[in-house]
Amino acid sequence: MAVEGTAARAAAVTLIGAVLDERVSLGQISEMNNGPLATLSPSDRARAQRLAAMTLRHLEQADRVLEPHLRKGPPRAVRNALRLGVVEMAIDGAAAHGVVNALVDVIRHGKRTGHLAGLVNAVLRKAAGAEAPFADMPPQRLPRWLRQPLVQLWGRDVVTAIEAVQALPPPLDLSFRADVPAIDGGVTLETGSLRFAGPVQVSSLPGYDTGAWWVQDAAAALAVRLLAPAPGETVLDLCAAPGGKTMQLAAAGAEVTALDISGPRLKRLHENLARTGLTATVVTADVLHWRPETLFDAVLLDAPCSATGTIRRHPDLPFVKDGLEIAGLVALQAQMIDRALGFVKPGGRLVFCTCSLLPEEGEAQLQAALARHPTLSVEQPDIPGVDPCWLAKGGGLRLRPDYWADKGGMDGFFMARLRLPA
């Protein structure tokens, strides 16, 4: 008979291994029909994902705790099980006996690890004796390819503050069809989003069944507020899936066309529109080749990017990326900006945004666009709740994870509104 919690922990160990060894993201794994989560119950599936993400947030600290207890490196699956156990006890405060028994069971039934069950038992019991094992350790550092340029840009104190925010589980932010209602446990942020600090079962919140709201980071929601759509305006949402910004635009009364190259991702957009009762014209196409029948009053381009601003929500990202893709992404973003400008009516506006911390995907990308299109003008944001320190030199908004650190932070973004000549 399996020990309680074994299935979820076994899956979590597999998830950690896939991220670290195969450089497959947790999101990709969750969508696999035959992946390690496929046969789990919904509760075990959610638990496995949470445990894996939590372990990846604290991998450095776990290795420091384990180092004195390991004479030589065990197989990767065993090491990942040990990491999971240390993190679960340290962060969750989980009872040692339950964690140890479950992970010993996981290793005992592994194809090539059964003989190391005793090692796992001994090491985790020793680790369990440490009180607050991570208390005197710094937060997990960003990978060198990302940390180094950010230190040069903002200094070590800022980067350390970003890392501290990324070490915490992110809050849940909601955007709404209409006025923000009062929901127990939620706090309305200065910019209008509703935030829940603790673990929340999304489907149990009031308004879920009626589609009154959708999950969307507070920083991401600012892109539509920067665009400032008016009722009846025609708006094109490029790279639209899974649809958070599309729903914001529709809720504002705009006539929305939502375009994305990915059919599977657009399926989620259709599902979100159906749940919220909002409408948009959905198009599956490549923005670099698509031609609209008419021009739009406004265009929103949330361009593909390194996603380095979303590590607080995706702790696997530093382990699956190495920065080598950035040059290609920068070139693609420039192409998309030039293409998107061709979809805008004279006198209309384009909001360009990326969920990246790197200036080459933000501030520098904006300056390059202005150099290519000298008739464009950058309009300063006028959004309620925006702190003046968020305003970027040269125009736009530079959002960082350490902003609102006392409230749980925010995703890192760059966004700017460009006005075409009339």
Of the residues 239, 305, 353, 355, which is catalytic? 355
Compute the mean pLDDT over every residue in the chain, rounded to the nearest whole number: 94
Q: How many CB atoms lie within 10 A of CB 90?
A: 23
- Residue 327's pLDDT is 97
Query: With the C-alpha atoms ordered 360, 364, 369, 371, is the resulting torsion angle positive or negative?
Result: negative
305 is catalytic: no
Tokens standing for 57? 């947030």
Q: Residue 269 corresponds to which tokens in the numbers above?
A: 């957009």
CB distance 49 to 26 below 8 Å: yes
Which pLDDT value is given to residue 2? 59
Which residue has tokens 């069944």?
A: 209
- Give me the pLDDT at residue 1, please: 44
- All CATH 1.10.940.10 domain ranges of the chain, comma separated, are 6-128
- Residue 33 is predicted with a pLDDT of 82
Reference 26, options 411, 318, 381, 379; nearest CA is 318
- Cβ atoms 352, 420 nearer than 8 A: no
Class assignment of domain 6-128? Answer: mainly alpha
Q: CA quadruple 68, 74, 76, 81: dihedral positive or negative?
A: negative
CA gyration radius, the chain: 23
Type of residue at 286: D
**What 3-state class would DSSP assign to 415?**
strand
Superfamily of 220-419 according to CATH = Vaccinia Virus protein VP39 (3.40.50.150)
pLDDT tens by residue, 263-300 = 989 999 999 999 999 999 999 999 999 999 999 999 99
Report CA torsion sign: 309, 311, 314, 316.
positive
Q: What is the C-alpha to C-alpha distance for residues 21 and 206, in angstroms, rounded to an integer?
A: 41
Question: What's the pTM value of the predicted model, to 2 decimals?
Answer: 0.94
Q: Outline which parts of the chain fall under CATH 3.40.50.150.
A: 220-419
Bridge partners of residue 236, in order along the sequence = 257, 299
Q: Which residues of the chain are under the pLDDT cut of 50?
A: 1
